[in-house]
Amino acid sequence: MIHLTESAALQVIDMMKQTERPEAQYLRIKVQGGGCTGLSYGMGFDEEKSERDVQFDHHGVRVIVAEADHGVVDGLEIDYKQSMLGGGFTIKNPNAIATCGCGSSFRTASNAGTPGDC
């Protein structure tokens, strides 16, 4: 399961309202090869949900992830933090056994990914 905190959900909903069809949007979580540790996260809006997607609903946001990526992100927590310097999403992944210094890439015990430039 992927968990979206209430703070993150409110931010996502605000961002969805800026799209042409906010009611049709899913928040898609992706995992792709790259970064200095091997895997990188991706987040974006998608109007299409395939048969191979797993869906979670949190605080009014429909979150989807491809079945192939689900094992790598199972237990993921996405939060949104606001500070004097601005705001941003934070990701905690209980499956990550290593992360890079900049926090944008990771690897798990079962998936080392394809390390590249950070």
pTM here is 0.83
Cα–Cα distances in angstroms (integers) from residue 42 to residues 34, 52, 64, in the given order: 11, 17, 12
Residues 41-58 have pLDDT tens digits of 889 999 999 999 999 999
Type of residue found at 26: Y
Residues 59-89 have pLDDT tens digits of 999 999 999 888 888 999 999 998 888 888 9
What strand order describes the sheet that includes 53-58? 53-58, 61-66, 26-34, 38-46, 105-108, 96-99
